[in-house]
């Protein structure tokens, strides 16, 4: 596969509102911490791409329809809408701030002309409806063009208002606010395949909501110990099965996965299946538990497999086999000898996400130094690519990167000690059907497209 860049967006949220109306030019601004992208998600058709950032804003990109005139320009993503989803809050009872950072965005399946998505910060989930308006009625009888009431004496005849085209306006409105459901920080949301319910998971509990009901939710998992002194494990991620509306999985900080069936009982504390790989005694260290903590779990599109990311590896699990993963891929094993330093600077706690491609044949995850990795499950080949403005010009092909661990060093190799650990790619997303990927690198969003093979294999 040859990955070329189609567009780069630098998060300059404030300036999106200040664009020059005539030229639509963005003004350059130094990166603010609130511009850091915290989540990326394609919708179900891939036409829209949503990003959330640390400042509580959501930016939605839309793919331009392909035109025959400019075949090289086809499929570029441009800004479609920007809105402020969450604001910072203050919990007076605990004397703590509640961050406005968007932790997750999930699109609802489209059921009418409008698009809907769920966005969440640490405490509150919101349902947003995105609608387009490209026509407006003109020719009212009682009101004039500005909306002021007409002097009735001037009205001599009746007319039927007609719809006239207008510039496209995208309106975003909050339709539901699901508040007060979580004591701890929400790390995941997942829409059920029944399209009526969704779940939200925090460190210790998982709640089931109905999309139309905001004042009630059902607690379906609770791992909070009676005595908080006994707390040794937290929930790190969770997701509904893509086809079976009764099944969901959640991962823990101890590296285990639990598959739960909501038909079995109301409170799914007892798992139906527990997926856990026994520890490798030769690799044991004080950091073994930390690096085994699962930072992300994703079902394959087929529903047959699960993908998990822990600090050094990505693993593919077969739902039918609980004893060990069917595939394990090393993301950056050269860090294994650096764990103490990474513990000291807190990098060992970084939560990387992972993604499947549409046909479940390739998996992708991020790493440090703005590198991201792809593993082909069929050919067993892997590649390391870099997302950066310096190295890739528009439509340039990305060239594979290599990290050398001492020994022979080829030209263009990066040594482990020169890796930039502040440049981490935590959030990545893959288009549902095509070979297009979205990579969030701090405050930059990169969109890459496979030039040779646009369709999935």
Residue recorded with tokens 């949301």: 189
CB of 253 to another protein, least distance (A): 5
Please report how close the Cβ of residue 237 comes to another protein at its closest, in angstroms. 11
Backbone angles phi and psi of 283, in degrees to 5: -105, 10
* Interface residue with another protein, options 340, 396, 397, 405 (CB under 8 A): 340
Q: Among residues 289, 322, 327, 382, which is the contact residue for another protein, using CB under 8 A?
A: 289
92 in contact with another protein (CB under 8 A)? yes
**Alpha helix (H) ranges present in 322-433?**
339-344
**Cβ neighbours for 85, distance < 8 A, ≥ 6 positions apart:** 52, 56, 57, 58, 102, 119, 121, 126, 128
Element (H, E) at 17: helix 13-17
Q: Cα 166 from chain centroid? A: 33
Residue 343, interface with another protein (CB under 8 A)?
A: yes
Is 416 strand, coil or helix? helix
Burial class of residue 129 in the structure, from the number of CB atoms within 10 Å of its CB (0-12 exposed, 13-18 middle, 19+ buried) = middle
Between residue 405 and residue 424, which ones bind another protein under the rule CB under 8 A?
A: 417, 420-422
Q: Is 96 in the site for another protein (CB under 8 A)?
A: yes
Q: Does 345 bind another protein (CB under 8 A)?
A: yes
Contact between 286 and another protein per CB under 8 A: yes
Where does this chain touch another protein (CB under 8 A) — which range of 31-39, 96-104, 154-162, 428-436?
96-104
Mark the segment that binds another protein (CB under 8 A) among 64-72, 241-249, 256-264, 340-348. Answer: 340-348
Nearer to another protein, 108 or 204 (CB): 204
Rule CB under 8 A: say whether 179 interacts with another protein: no
Q: Which is nearer to another protein, 93 or 162 (CB)?
A: 93
Q: Show the site string, 193-232: x = touches another protein by CB under 8 A, - = not.
A: ----------xx----------------------xxxxxx
3-state secondary structure 245-298: CCEEEEEECCCCEEEEECCCCCCCCCCCEEECCCCCHHHCCCCHHHHHCCCEEE
171 binds another protein (CB under 8 A): no
CA–CA gap between residue 73 and residue 71 (Å, rounded): 5
Report which secondary-structure segment, H or E, holds 374.
strand 371-376
Cβ neighbours around 301 below 10 Å, total: 17
Is the alpha carbon torsion for 331, 309, 186, 94 positive or negative? Answer: negative
For another protein, the binding residue among 16, 184, 218, 334 (CB under 8 A) is 184
Exposed, middle or buried: residue 422 (CB in 10 Å: 0-12, 13-18, 19+)? exposed
* One residue of 76, 233, 261, 376 binding another protein per CB under 8 A: 233
Using CB under 8 A as the binding rule, the residues of this chain from 110 to 129 that contact another protein are 122
User: Binding to another protein by residue 336, rule CB under 8 A?
Assistant: yes
Residue closest to 201 by CA, chosen among 185, 223, 179: 185
**Rounded least distance, CB 252 to another protein, Å:** 10
**285, 302, 415, 453: residue in contact with another protein (rule CB under 8 A):** 285
Contact segment (CB under 8 A) with another protein among 70-78, 170-178, 286-294, 446-454 equals 286-294
Considering only residues 427 to 446 of the shown chain, the ones binding another protein according to CB under 8 A are none
Strands 162-178 and 188-191: unpaired
Handedness of CA 254, 256, 258, 259 (dihedral sign): positive
Select from 33, 87, 90, 454 the one that contacts another protein (CB under 8 A): 90
Instruction: Write phi, then psi, for 149 (nearest 5 degrees).
Output: -65, 135
CB nearer to another protein: give 7 or 103.
Answer: 103
Say whether residue 95 binds another protein (CB under 8 A). yes
Pick between residue 123 and residue 427 the one whose CB is nearest to another protein: 123
Question: For binding to another protein (CB under 8 A), which residues are involved?
Answer: 90, 92-99, 122, 184-185, 203-204, 227-234, 236, 253, 282-287, 289-290, 293, 336-347, 349, 417, 420-422
């Amino acid at each position: 596969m040859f990955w070329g860049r189609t567009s780069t967006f630098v998060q300059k949220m404030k300036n999106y509102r200040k664009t020059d109306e005539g030229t639509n030019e963005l003004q350059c601004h130094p990166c603010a911490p609130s511009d850091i992208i915290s989540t990326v998600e394609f919708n179900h058709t891939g036409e829209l791409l949503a990003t959330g950032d640390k400042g509580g804003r959501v930016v939605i990109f839309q793919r331009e329809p392909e035109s025959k005139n400019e075949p090289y320009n086809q499929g570029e993503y441009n800004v479609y809408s920007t809105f402020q989803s969450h604001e910072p809050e203050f919990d007076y009872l605990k004397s703590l701030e509640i961050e406005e950072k968007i932790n997750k965005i999930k699109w609802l399946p489209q059921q009418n002309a409008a698009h809907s998505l769920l966005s969440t910060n640490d405490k509150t989930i919101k349902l947003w409806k995105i609608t387009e308006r490209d026509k407006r009625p003109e020719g009212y009888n009682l009101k004039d063009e500005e909306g002021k009431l007409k002097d009735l004496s001037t009205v001599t005849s009746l007319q039927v208002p007609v719809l006239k085209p207008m510039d496209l306006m995208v309106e975003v409105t909050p339709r539901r606010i699901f508040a007060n459901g979580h004591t701890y920080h929400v790390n995941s949301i997942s829409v059920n395949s029944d399209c009526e319910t969704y779940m939200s998971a925090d460190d210790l509990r998982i709640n089931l909501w109905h999309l139309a009901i905001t004042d009630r939710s059902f607690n379906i998992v609770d791992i909070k110990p009676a005595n908080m002194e006994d707390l040794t494990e937290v929930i790190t991620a969770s997701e509904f099965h893509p086809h079976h509306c009764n099944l969901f999985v959640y991962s823990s900080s101890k590296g285990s996965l639990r598959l739960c069936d909501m038909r079995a009982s109301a409170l799914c504390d007892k798992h139906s299946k527990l997926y856990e790989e026994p520890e490798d005694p030769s690799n044991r260290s004080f950091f073994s538990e930390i690096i085994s903590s699962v930072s992300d779990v994703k079902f394959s599109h087929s529903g047959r497999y699960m993908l998990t990311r822990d600090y050094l590896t990505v693993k593919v699990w077969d739902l039918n086999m609980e004893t060990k993963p069917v595939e394990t891929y090393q993301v950056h094993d050269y860090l294994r000898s650096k764990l103490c330093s990474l513990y000291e600077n807190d990098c060992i706690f970084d939560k990387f996400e992972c993604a499947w491609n549409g046909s479940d044949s390739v998996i992708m995850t991020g790493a440090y130094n703005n590198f991201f990795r792809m593993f082909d499950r069929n050919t067993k080949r892997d590649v390391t690519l870099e997302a950066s403005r310096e190295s890739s010009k528009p439509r340039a092909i990305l060239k594979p990167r290599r990290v050398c661990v001492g020994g022979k060093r080829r030209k263009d190799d990066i040594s482990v000690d020169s890796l930039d650990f502040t440049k981490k790619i935590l959030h990545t997303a893959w288009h549902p059907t095509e070979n297009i990927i979205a990579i969030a690198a701090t405050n930059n969003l990169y969109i890459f497209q496979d030039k040779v093979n646009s369709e999935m294999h």
